[in-house]
Chains A and B, each alone.
Chain A
């Protein structure tokens, strides 16, 4: 998808300090243009999930601003959330709902009419090979199936900005590739995507820009080629290890 000049996500000096005193976000500045496929790379505890949750309203920022297509996520949260879809890291399906009901209720939360929801549900069940499971309760599904439902749910209201929090963690190769193709297709169709992942090859394969996050700060961002050049490394993995302070694990260090 060709990037437009419009900002899908505009984050300025975003801070989050939890009651325990943990500084999870320390002045994050990040801009994502409409149509971009941004990868957010960082180790566990770097602040990726807190950043995503701040955008989606699951965490209240302590300072700074975040805007989705110009709508502030705190002051104008209803408009901002209409434009976002979140597929969380853990499949948080409702125990009392079937696959079809999960999508139906989600559509309702976003103000979709019954007929509109029905059509969209059929499209998504088909796209994610869930048609046969439509009447199965969410808690009875396998891990991979739950993952499909969570992503389908995030897409139910056709968000302009899709946020995927480690969508391929723990899934088999087949589903991972299926999800990759689907994400690429969505991005080509115009959806802006922010993806957090631990898989470097996933970020390199899918994303046209990568932001490196560590200890609640964006360390650097750019295309994979730009980052390798800037850090003078041959692989993105080595860039990542350098940024996360584990330079001793890079290939170059091992060879030296």
Chain B
């Protein structure tokens, strides 16, 4: 294993997002903070409790999930497409770094960026409210599994995409609506029958509720079923990516 090679590609990925940190770190942080302040602190003060928790505490797990998901995806899809477009990726593709190491480094690049944002958002949120973390291990593992899933989806879309329009399409028309309709801001118990059913077929609903269960100790799903499913889903996308990297799909002619 060429560890130096792997760490160099990973270092390059981190260098990329760090060199434009206003856009990649500060922007998403501000966005998360605004959600917490507006929906949680301002509007939330008008709502009594939801499933026995204050409204601000109820929405924070979902907002953390949204931070890790959106940033993992955005980083990896954009970085890979950008490198393909400027052909800078050729320097890595012609090097002795293995396909597996390349994939791991590209995936972890976005995962680390999203983890930094999520950690800072968590610390900031804990200053605003008395934030409980009932099952710390479940919280960390579920956030990490969701982050890995979206980081891998980002790599996959970055591979398939031919333009930034493709990347935005998946983000604006698929990922973002699924996250918003997955129950960040409300409990499914508030929805009528058909909408409840629709929410239950949204995979992100299970992700949000697994993280929520880790932090609040209660949720709309059984985390011991949803967590393994999230991990399996992440592994499935990783496997697809690995096959595509080994084939050189859209990377090598």
Residues of A within 8 A of B (CB): 16, 18, 50, 53, 56-60, 77-79, 81-82, 84, 86, 88, 90, 92-97, 101, 105-113, 153
Contact = CB atoms under 8 A, between A and B. Distances in A.
B235 to A, nearest CB: 25
Interface stretch (B5-13, B41-49, B165-173, B185-193): B5-13
A39 B5 CA distance: 31
Contacts of B244: none
B94 A94 contact: no
Interface residues of B, number: 30
B129 to A, nearest CB: 37
Given A57-B94, A58-B93, A111 B88 contact: no
Contact of B86 (A92, A106, A112): A92
17 contacts: A50-B253, A58-B94, A58-B252, A58-B253, A60-B247, A60-B253, A81-B96, A82-B96, A86-B94, A93-B88, A95-B82, A95-B88, A96-B12, A105-B12, A108-B4, A109-B91, A109-B95
A88 B15 contact: no
A110 B2 CA distance: 8
B134 to A, nearest CB: 41
A58 B88 CA distance: 12
A111 B2 contact: yes
B22 interface: no
Nearest to A108: B8
Contacts of A97: 12, 15
Nearest to A54: B253
B88 A94 contact: yes
Best-surrounded residue of A53, A60, A108, A113 (most CB of chain B within 10 A): A108
Contact of B8 (A57, A93, A105): A105
A108 B96 contact: no
Contacts of B31: none
A17 to B, nearest CB: 11
Contact of A56 (B8, B88, B94, B248): B94
A55 B125 CA distance: 53
B162 interface: no
B55 to A, nearest CB: 41
A59 B5 contact: no
A210 to B, nearest CB: 25
Contacts of A110: 4-5, 95-96
Nearest to B248: A60
Contacts of A16: 253
A145 B15 CA distance: 23
B131 interface: no
B54 interface: no
Contacts of A109: 4-5, 8-9, 91-92, 95-97
B90 A88 contact: yes
A88 B86 CA distance: 13
B94 to A, nearest CB: 4
B226 interface: no
B210 to A, nearest CB: 35
B87 interface: yes
Contacts of B16: 96
A88 B97 contact: no
Given A86-B94, A93-B88, A95-B86, A108 B252 contact: no
B252 A60 contact: yes
B8 A92 contact: no
Best-surrounded residue of B9, B83, B93, B96 (most CB of chain A within 10 A): B96
Best-surrounded residue of A58, A78, A94, A109 (most CB of chain B within 10 A): A109
B2 A96 contact: no
